[in-house]
Structure 1
Amino acid sequence: MQKQLTGKKIIITGASSGIGEKLVWRIAEAGGTPLMIARSISKLTAIKKRIWEHYQIESYVYEADLLVKKDREAVIEFILIEHEQIHGLINNAGIGKFAHFLEMCQQEMDNMFELNVHALIQMSKRFLAHFDSFNEGHIVNIASQAGKIATPKAAIYSSTKHAVIGFSNGLRLELKKTNVFVTVVNLGPVQTDFFQTADPNGTYQENVSQYMLNPDKVAIKIVNHLFESKREINLPLWMEIGSRLYQLFPVAFERILQKQFTKK
């Protein structure tokens, strides 16, 4: 049964492509109102037009580079002025770079923490105050299975997603007695443009192509759990089982799966 989101206004960051764009479509299909944030206003405007043509659903577009703090502050203020009530926030925007730690430049590392962690926390804090005033809302943070199992060439990326998981769990517990929900989404590799930056040579994509998740199926799963008290969404299931076993037997897992851990 499809989730019904009529009357719900939901912010999606990184909405111009990949999981973000699929979330926009699935939210509109369910009758919700997508509020899209991304750097490319032309892409967002094109999506907005197609959404109206397909579903006669109004959507809103906001141009912002969430890597830039003043851009984040500006778009937050504009949205809060333009809309009386926002119901949900999906922190989807993120960036990754797969490389050995010593080979990474400081700017690459700073960018990952700025977008994956600092921007996500700032967006959550500002809109949480808004949700709290209505005693209603849902924050969905897109993390990664990499936040549970770190691998070579992903030390920084994994640490940012580990931070997202920790933040989400702590915040969820703080809000336990309210009607504001927090869900963290831990994904394996997904077929998106993320890898254009993370893996420009295509080595990792080639090695894991048979395991890659379909972004539309991910979006459906997330949308079906909006405005529910859902602790985590973990995909694929076999990877989540592996991550739980890893927590119990880390040394054995690292030895047995050494080849799989070095696919990057």
Structure 2
Amino acid sequence: MLANEAQTLTGQVVAITGASSGIGQAVAYEAARQGATLVLMARSTDKLTALSQDVTLLSGAPAYVVPVDVGSREAIDTAVATIQEKVDRVDILLNAAGFGDFETVLDTDWETVRRLFSVDVLGTMYFSRRIASMMIDAHYGHILNVGSMAGKLPTPKSAYYSAAKAAVIQFSNVLRLELKPFGINVTSINPGPVATNFFNIADKTGHYLDNVAAFTIDPGDLAKTIVHAFGRPVREINAPTIMAIASKLYPLAPTIGDRIVMLFGNQK
């Protein structure tokens, strides 16, 4: 896809779920700087419209607004039909839609659990499935799914979110194998805490980002790493480095890992 070291996304169609905020929005801005044609998806039409105006000024290319609730299969089907009307293909899909909830297993409302898996897991899976079908016809494309370090490293008050992101990571691993014969790349993105409004919902205490400031990732920096991976056979993006290393060591010594997590990782 990207033959030159000087990366450009001019002429490439980049579709992003969860584009109205957080990682999705940061990637939209960075991809626009590279000249991408963007398909922006989220529930808020107003936020998407404002974003589309900004990114169009940056890219000089079209930016299409496609409202969708990723927690609904029917809404995804409608969104995919709209995408097919607006553009003839999708070169890159970033599944960034999702939310978290920092509660204990026993305290988490079950409707929150159901919604969490509908959006973070089933929405990611179904969107990947629908867009992969388009990419297979073209024998070309790249799907990137936002997982989390929470899917690799367990911490208290994140059981359901961790389980959801672990599912996304493993789904991406299998999807990568199945789509490789068709020339399609699949990447899982597994960040630690990113300084976005994600924590406005997930963290009811309002103190988590302050408690983990040493590990917090700037969304703009993460977006640059993600966009740099577009079109390349990158298996995973894991950040920050210290958490990436910890995720590899944890399975080797889980008892010690549990003690360390309870000592340093219980910050919610």
Q: Does the pair score TM above 0.5?
A: yes
Which one of the candidate residues 22, 27, 30 is aligned to 2:31? 27
Partner of 2:226: 222
Partner of 2:143: 139
Letter in 1 for 2:35: G
Question: What is the CA-CA distance between 1:53 and the residue it aligns to?
Answer: 2.7
| Separation in 2, partners of 1:179, 1:202 | 44
Q: TM-score normalised to the size of structure 1? A: 0.97
Deviations 1:42-85 (A, max 9, x none): 11111111222333221111111212222222111111232211
Q: Which amino acid in 2 is paired with 1:18? A: G
Residue 180 (structure 1) aligned with residue 175 (structure 2): no
Aligned residues: 264
> Which among 235, 239, 244 is matched to residue 243 of structure 2?
239
Cα offset, 1:178, TM superposition: 2.4
Q: Which residue of 2 aligns with 1:261?
A: 265
Distance in 1 (alpha carbons) for counterparts of 2:206 and 2:62: 38
Q: CA deviation at 1:2?
A: 4.8
Distance apart, 1:32 and its partner CA: 1.0
Q: TM-score, normalised by structure 2?
A: 0.95
- 1-side partners of 2:184 and 2:221: how far apart? 25
Give the AA of the match of 1:169.
N
* Counterpart contact for 1:2–1:30, Cα < 8 Å: no
- The question of whether the paired residues in 2 share the 8 Å contact of 1:13 and 1:36 is answered with yes
Q: Secondary structure at the match of 2:65?
A: strand
- Measured in 2, the distance between the counterparts of 1:2 and 1:189 equals 30
What is the alpha-carbon distance in structure 1 between the residues aligned to residue 6 and residue 71 of structure 2?
34
> For 1:250 and 1:78, how far apart are their aligned partners in 2?
47
1:123 to partner: Cα distance: 0.3
For residues 221 and 256 of structure 1, what CA distance do their matches in structure 2 show?
29
Q: Is the 8 A contact 2:143 2:187 kept in 1?
A: yes
Structure-2 residue corresponding to 1:203: 207
Query: 1:153 Cα deviation (Å)?
Result: 0.5
User: For the residues of structure 2 that align with 1:64 and 1:176, how far apart are their CA atoms?
Assistant: 28
Gaps of 5+ in 1: none
State how far apart, in whole Å, the 2-side matches of 1:21 and 1:141 are.
15
Greater mean alpha carbon deviation, residues 79-88 or residues 116-125: 79-88
Selected match of 2:254 from 247, 250, 255: 250
Residue aligning to 1:57? 61
- Name segments (4+ residues, structure 1) moved above 6 Å: none
| 2:97–2:119 contact (8 Å) kept in structure 1 | yes
Aligned residue in 1 for 2:160: 156
**Per-residue deviation, residues 6-40 of structure 1 (Å, max 9, x unmatched):** 11101000101111111111111111111100111
Q: Which residue of 1 aligns with 2:42?
A: 38
Letter of the 1:193 counterpart: N
Structural RMSD (CA): 1.2
Instruction: Check if 1:117 corresponds to 2:121.
Output: yes
| In structure 2, C-alpha distance between the alignment counterparts of 1:54 and 1:255, rounded to whole Å | 48
Q: Distance in 2 between matches of 1:256 and 1:17?
A: 32
Structure 2 unaligned blocks of 5 or more = none
